[in-house]
Amino acid sequence: MKFKLIVLFVFSTLFASAEGITFFEGTWEEALAKANEEEKLIFVDAYAKWCGPCKKMAATTFKDGAVGDYFDAHFISMKIDMEESMGRTFGQSYSVSAYPTLFFIKPDGEIAKKSVGFKDVTKLMDIAKVASGNADFSAKYKAQYDDGARDFSTVLNYVKSLNKANKPSLKIANDFLNSNHAMSKDQMTEFLFEAVTEADSRIFDLCLDAKSSIVGKYGEDAFNEKLIKVARKTTEKAIENEYPSLIEEAVAKLKTYDKSLSEEYRLWSFLHYNSSYKDWDGVMKHYKSFKKKYTKGDEEANMNLVSLFAKHFPEKDEAKNLVVTNFKDALDINPTEKGYISLVQLLVKYGKKEEAVEVANAGKKKLEAKSISTAQLEGYINFLSNTIK
């Protein structure tokens, strides 16, 4: 499944990879230089070896696959032991009164965001996204642009920095293209690839026209990922403005490139659009086709549907049934003790204790067959069995 539903992290991280955050092991000065070069914030876990919450975050939150993917893409991450030499030096500039203290620091040393205490996956991701929103490197390019610089490098970097900061860049990009500035074919390819942000734009049309050169430079996977990202932005825009025609326009454009991708995007978009407006009939109009075509053998796709229904229709019985169904399908693909415990807890919340026990027992057998520990799950089985009696 190429399109991932825009949902909460409530369930989706249950099945993420276990690699987690990649921590930079150089000096603080090297981290600052790297952050400046890559135009990223530095994430610092200021910890102490004896700190219990620090150990827990290191063993759980930092090892989460979704956290790792996001942090590796957006930050230079460091772990600094505050009782060692580097930590004592760091502490002279950055106050730490409790552990862990989490910093998001700009390349110039300014703190973009600071938080104290243990954070689970959801809380850390929320903080990280706020910090990312504060990571704006466009000012220096804006100053050059305002001073009259219109060379390819300046405009390209300005557009890229605006996009990275989630600021509007379309006018800058269109003005540059309309100026008929002399560009080589390779420069035009790079500019279009970096400048495209919305499917309902001329630049998106130009990207589709330049498919062969973009694929030749970046590869087909990167091109498809860019189209997906841009199409998602158009879906968000359609939802924000309550204007579904934007989705239909994007579907028509994608169809000229890839009919399969276009159909997946259509179903994905209207599932999300109708869910956002609590239109259950509209959701059901697209759910069955989406489920049949794009979730088979894909645990993440099933869990995304779980999150979608749980978020937008928390009190609707039909939605609760679909939450459970898709959760079970995901666990059939990739059984984990953590996943079964979450489903059992959900069933109890829904008032379905008997089904919770059945699911727990079935999960125990499946996990044991794969030599996976079931100690915690057994505790839930015993507790629930006793409450039912």
Q: Which residues are tagged catalytic?
A: 51, 54
Helix axis angle for 185-195 and 170-178, nearest 10°, is 160
Q: Among residues 200, 41, 190, which one has the least CA distance to residue 107?
A: 41
Length of the chain: 389
Q: Find out whether 127 and 115 touch, Cβ atoms under 8 Å.
A: yes
Distance CA 11, CA 303 (A): 6
Per-position DSSP letters for 286-352, written without gaps between them:
HHHHHHHHH-TT-HHHHHHHHHHHHHH-TT-HHHHHHHHHHHHHHHHHS--HHHHHHHHHHHHHTT-
Q: Find out whether 239 and 276 touch, Cβ atoms under 8 Å.
A: yes
Distance CA 36, CA 39 (A): 5
The identity of residue 286, as a single letter, is H
CA neighbours closer than 13 Å in the CB half-sphere of residue 296:
4
Q: Cis bond leading into 100, ω under 30°?
A: yes
Distance CA 292, CA 290 (A): 6
- Residue 327 CA from chain centroid, whole number: 20
Distance CA 299, CA 16 (A): 10
